[in-house]
A and B are shown apart, each in its own frame.
Chain A
Amino acid sequence: MTPLLEVRNLVKIFPSRDGNHPMRAVDGVSLALRKGSTLGIVGESGSGKSTLARLVLRLIDPTSGSIHFDGEDLLALDGRRLRGRRRDMQIVFQDPYASLDPRMTIESIIAEPLVIHRIGDRSERRRRVVDLLQLVGLDPSAASRYPHEFSGGQRQRIGVARALALEPKLLVLDEPVSALDVSIQSQVLNLLLDLKARLGLSYIFISHDLSVVEHLSDEIAVMYLGRIIERGPADTLLRYPRHPYTQALVSAILDADPAAKRERILLREDQTGSGNIPAGCRFHPRCNFAMDVCRKVMPTPTSLPDGSEVECFLYGPEAMPSRPAPTSGSREFLLLGKNT
């Protein structure tokens, strides 16, 4: 089966103001999304995850690489045909306060995509808005009100309703719950789970919060400075993180459960704050395991038997035999940083 979305070797370079320091925001990313599944993309600020989301929807154009959606080359489409394709792919943004126009009623916000794509007449659109409001758990009376009358969680539901108006196949969720309180966050996550099951949607779920990503995703990709440095089935990735960066991320998940206390891996800080991409492995300046090769050569993805893939010399064919790869099944790997 062809994947719903297939991205190959995608690169996005933003020019810098002085022209001398181009920013490689996305630096050779490949991924595939199966129909009906959720791909989680996790990374910290500057990892390129939001740029990747915009590239995938062609909201911005890549410097190089290819994007196929439902078998069609997205980059080959002209403006009109691209607009037609966009019906199938929608995005929900992080900030429910900034992404809804305060001067528009909820009805016109949700119906706007229908108007743009010239779908239905006025009364049909009105009926569709009511359906969508009910679908996301809001009262139909919301239609005549304005965004400021709603709480953050309700606004995010409105954002989801707008994204679903055109019955897309793919929903890109860019930090959809990060601005919400814990008790509201779980309501919205449940809604997303329900909608996916009911409508057979596929999701790309982007977040800095690994525990939220894990909950929704079938597969997770970890980004660091523009590259996917590890990917794998969600539960495998959380239980057996391979890349030293993923291991640190997993260890940094805070759990209020005192019984779940675990050893934390502390990474070196990028004390420069410059955002420059180092030579060799881009993670090596912060890595507790960095070897000579890591400073000079960029690692390529190594496939592992359980379906994971990792870009790290600890696992590649070049891996030094004297250094055991931290793949232990228990949480012991978390302590490796201290022993070596």
Chain B
Amino acid sequence: MSVEPLLSVERLSVGFNTETGPVRITEEVSFDVPRASAVGLVGESGCGKSVTAQTIMRLLPAPPSRIDGGRIVFEGNDLLLLSESQMQGIRGDRIGMIFQEPMTSLNPTMRVEEQILESLRLHRRMSARAARPLAADILRKVGIASPEHRLRQYPHELSGGLRQRVMIAIALVCGPRLLIADEPTTALDVTIQAQILELLKSLQRTMELSILLISHDLGVIAEICRTIVVMYAGTIVERGSATEVLANPLHPYTAGLIAASPRRARKGDRLSTIPGSVPAPGTEPIGCRFARRCPRALPTCHTSIPRLVELRAGHDAACWNPLP
């Protein structure tokens, strides 16, 4: 049975106009987010994962950003063709979003309650009176004890973990089908991170939510996601089920990322490293963008671009010399 994915990003290329001319940030990025499933977009800083997420939400100012090609199909509509006012109807209603730093995304001058009600008023045209019980409900759903008390507080009165819960509550109050979470636990302490990941996992199940989780940490992705998409220097290098990608990575970059974690090394041993660093946008080599850092590079890798193809069932990689 083939079911339409909830979100389908098709060959998305995003660029920026800079002082020195246009620079391409992502190159033909394609992936699906199925209904009621979690997909993880992983990569290091500058790989284009956040640009991809913000383009889906149409949050990047254009100019300087520009769409150089591709489609973003959500519930049957190409989001790139919608007007700004149509997009406003989708943002916060059908698609919710949470960011890394809850303090900068919450309004410091508004009580928690007003910030939750704002969304309900805008999208549901509800009166404050009708919306108030829903606000308390959603706080309870995200695991906040004594919601009535919290509704009256300001963001600065909350701990980091609580702020992130409030952010999640705001993102989910209208019952979106898709939640985009951009490094949602990166700014949190590890014990709080564990709680927030647990919460996202349970919300995904109970609300039959689709989640697009963006993170630099494979460990965070592995907690929640069924599918992993690995990005490097603006391109997708590997894509597949989380268990497959993590247990049997095909792309040397993915394998390098997994091996570089000190969790994998014997204590005191040298850690496995990926030599060199990520090329800056606009300075990518021709051929495979990872070739210069790759321990398995062949002569072709330096001259021709590998396409993302299915090498094992449901497991794709863009590599001329994938791991066996």
Contacts and interface: CB of A to CB of B under 8 A. Distances in A.
A193 B262 CA distance: 13
A265 B195 CA distance: 9
B111 to A, nearest CB: 16
A253 B277 contact: no
Contact of B191 (A184, A234, A235, A267): A267
Contact of A181 (B44, B247, B264): B44
Q: What bracket does the count of chain A residues touching chain B fall in?
A: 35 or more
Given A44-B191, A269-B162, A257 B264 contact: yes
Contact of A273 (B45, B159, B246, B264): B159
A257 B162 contact: no
A279 to B, nearest CB: 20
A234 B258 CA distance: 23
A116 B195 CA distance: 48
B261 interface: yes
A211 interface: yes
Contacts of A258: 222, 242-243, 246-247
Interface in A223-269: 234-235, 248-249, 251-259, 264-267, 269
A186 B258 CA distance: 11
Interface stretch (B116-124, B172-180, B212-220, B312-320): B212-220
Contact of A211 (B145, B243, B261, B270): B261
A183 B222 CA distance: 18
Contacts of A269: 159, 161-162, 192, 195
Nearest to A235: B267
Contact of A271 (B145, B194, B277): B145
B81 interface: no
A196 B20 CA distance: 43
Contacts of A185: 260
A212 B261 CA distance: 9
Contacts of A276: none
Nearest to B45: A181
B297 interface: no
Contact of B194 (A186, A212, A215, A264): A264
A208 interface: yes
B189 A208 contact: yes
A210 interface: yes
Contact of A208 (B45, B159, B190): B190
A183 B262 contact: no
B247 to A, nearest CB: 6
Given A258-B242, A258-B247, A182 B267 contact: no
B272 A186 contact: yes
B134 interface: no
Contacts of B157: 273
B256 interface: yes
> Chain B at the A interface: mostly helix, strand, loop or mixed?
helix
Contacts of B272: 186
B265 interface: yes
B268 interface: yes
A209 B188 CA distance: 12
B221 interface: yes
B273 A272 contact: no
Interface string A182-214: 111111011001100000000000001111101
Contact of B193 (A193, A214, A252): A252
Contact of A272 (B159, B247, B274, B277): B159
A270 interface: yes
Given A183-B260, A184-B277, A256-B218, A190 B193 contact: no
Contact of A256 (B192, B219, B267): B219
Contacts of A212: 262
A193 B273 contact: no
Contacts of B160: 45, 273
A111 to B, nearest CB: 25
B218 A249 contact: no
Given A214-B262, A215-B262, A183 B219 contact: no
B263 A264 contact: no
Interface string B235-247: 0000000110011
B223 interface: yes
B189 A45 contact: yes
A147 interface: no
A131 B269 CA distance: 25
B271 interface: yes
A235 B243 CA distance: 28
Contacts of A271: 145, 159, 162
A151 interface: yes
B279 to A, nearest CB: 11
A187 B273 contact: yes
A153 interface: yes
B208 interface: no
Contacts of A255: 219, 222, 261, 263
B268 A215 contact: yes
Contacts of B44: 181-184
Contacts of A183: 44, 256-257, 260, 273-274, 277
Contacts of B195: 266-267, 269
Interface of A: 44-45, 151, 153-154, 181-187, 189-190, 193-194, 208-212, 214-216, 234-235, 248-249, 251-259, 264-267, 269-273
23 contacts: A154-B277, A182-B218, A184-B277, A186-B260, A186-B262, A189-B262, A211-B261, A211-B263, A212-B262, A214-B262, A248-B191, A248-B194, A252-B190, A252-B194, A253-B263, A254-B219, A255-B219, A255-B222, A256-B258, A258-B246, A264-B194, A264-B198, A272-B159
Given A183-B256, A193-B270, A255-B263, 12 more contacts: A44-B191, A44-B192, A181-B45, A182-B257, A185-B260, A186-B261, A186-B274, A215-B262, A215-B271, A252-B194, A254-B222, A269-B192
8 smallest A-B Cβ distances: which pairs? Answer: A254-B219, A273-B159, A44-B189, A256-B218, A186-B271, A183-B274, A181-B44, A215-B262
